[in-house]
Amino acid sequence: MSTFQAPKGTYDLTPPRSATFLAVREAISAPLRDSGYGYIETPGFENVELFARGVGESTDIVTKEMYTLTTKGGDQLALRPEGTASVLRAALEANLHKAGNLPVKLWYSGSYYRYERPQAGRYRHFSQVGAEAIGTEDPALDAELIILADQAYRSLGLRRFRILLNSLGDKECRPVYREALQTFLRDLDLDEETRRRIEINPLRVLDDKRADVQKQLTDAPKLRDYLCDACKAYHEEVRALLTAAGVAFEDDEKLVRGLDYYTRTTFEFVHDGLGSQSAVGGGGRYDGLSEMIGGPELPSVGWALGVDRTVLALEAESVELDLPATTSVYAVPLGEEARRVLFGVVTELRRAGIAADFAFGGRGLKGAMKSANRSGARYTLVAGERDLAEGVVQLKDMESGEQSAVPLAEAAAELAKRLG
């Protein structure tokens, strides 16, 4: 055992469980790649001010959860707590919005960091797959992203998730609602920190999970009653497009998400098998974020789905993914000459696209066959001095137990034929 352990609230991904995480990332990204989204990768840390402006200075993410550091040159950096601000910053820096093909559609995958109280489904290091459609205001884009996420989850075999949907209005109608909500909240029995939040971003109070706070919010003014005609029409079109696509959703008028940049459409994917940490992903429209971080007006929409929580959701539903075999053929040499020859065969198989492994370390037949079993190999190739003298190798089907000698020169072709 090592002297060191993974930092509190983090985890290591090791085989065989890591294969499930890879499969989840692949399943989430596949519909995006098929829908015109290109891959983007950004640094693991950014200027602190990017998140303060973009995510919001009143959010728990910025005030309590960001990992920050000062470089030797005096720069203030933060480990990225979310992906949207970084992706938009990178797209602006690369002038992707000037290429004349809007929206700019991007997807990404990576690790994110928040200083939170560790518990099941909530870690200080977590992984997400995200998607952003930058530069176009169109309810069809909002619907497209929700549909693609729904498609990804269903392709994994998940069924017990729900989609919550709301509209947060825009710069025209939200200020009117904000004032009405502030007036209501100021009369409630709330702690000082929450009262400060009322003045900075009162919608965040609606997202407070404490029971004593939620009890007081029963008669809070409803945002839907303050939406302007344009926002109402936009939201109704999103709803109609989802319905026409056969994607079920639930209207949730209290859904505000945890970031300040959202406007109009906001949504969340929740899974009832995960307890208090039920959100597996979510997103929404952020039409003003580009201007917040110094860019031009670029209405945009996006989401991020948690890989960690998606895996937990699969486990809650007892869904077992059909994972590809890591090894199809396992070669067992008996003697130095067989070691040289079979290593060449393994190399040939790999070049032909066949997953093959080798009994390293000069183990005996019994130990090597145990390793072959543990690897999940469908076939083993065994050869000793007598086999080589006869120009053959022993090919064993690990499922049926049948074994036959095949000419050494034809071993790779025979395995390719059997494995299809």
Say what percent of the chain tops pLDDT 70.
98
pTM check: above 0.95: no
Q: Is 39 annotated as a binding residue?
A: no
Burial degree of 189 (CB within 10 A; 0-12, 13-18, 19+): exposed
- pLDDT of 236 higher than 80: yes
- pLDDT of 110 higher than 80: yes
CATH topology of domain 17-173+227-316: BirA Bifunctional Protein; domain 2 (3.30.930)
Contact by Cβ (8 Å): 75, 122 = no
Q: Is 261 annotated as a binding residue?
A: yes
The residues of the chain that CATH labels 3.30.930.10 are 17-173+227-316
Q: Is 257 annotated as a binding residue?
A: yes
Residues 379-403 have pLDDT tens digits of 999 999 999 999 999 999 999 999 9
Q: Is 100 annotated as a binding residue?
A: no
pLDDT of residue 58: 59
Contact by Cβ (8 Å): 259, 55 = yes
Residues 320-361 have pLDDT tens digits of 999 887 899 999 999 999 999 999 999 999 999 999 999 998
Average pLDDT over residues 275-284: 87
- Higher pLDDT among residues 217 and 121, named by residue: 217
- pLDDT of 202 higher than 90: no
Q: Is 277 annotated as a binding residue?
A: no
Residue 199 — pLDDT band, cuts 50, 70, 90?
Answer: confident
CA dist list (Å): 99 to 87, 96, 178, 337: 17, 6, 37, 59
Residue 175 — pLDDT band, cuts 50, 70, 90?
Answer: confident
Q: Is 330 annotated as a binding residue?
A: no
Q: Is 84 annotated as a binding residue?
A: yes
pLDDT of residue 259: 63
- Higher pLDDT among residues 1 and 49, named by residue: 49
Is residue 119 helix, strand or coil? strand
- pLDDT of 57 higher than 70: no
DSSP-derived letter for residue 289 is H
The residue among 178, 130, 183 whose CA lies nearest residue 300 is: 130
329-419 classified as CATH 3.40.50.2000: no
Contact by Cβ (8 Å): 234, 264 = yes
Residues 67-94 have pLDDT tens digits of 999 999 999 999 999 999 999 999 999 9
- pLDDT of 194 higher than 90: no
pLDDT of residue 222: 87
Q: Is 114 annotated as a binding residue?
A: yes
Residue 258 — pLDDT band, cuts 50, 70, 90?
Answer: low
pLDDT of residue 26: 97
Q: Is 394 annotated as a binding residue?
A: no
The residues of the chain that CATH labels 3.40.50.800 are 329-419
Residue 201 — pLDDT band, cuts 50, 70, 90?
Answer: confident
Average pLDDT over residues 145-152: 98
Alpha-carbon gap, residue 154 to 270, rounded angstroms:
14
pLDDT of residue 52: 85
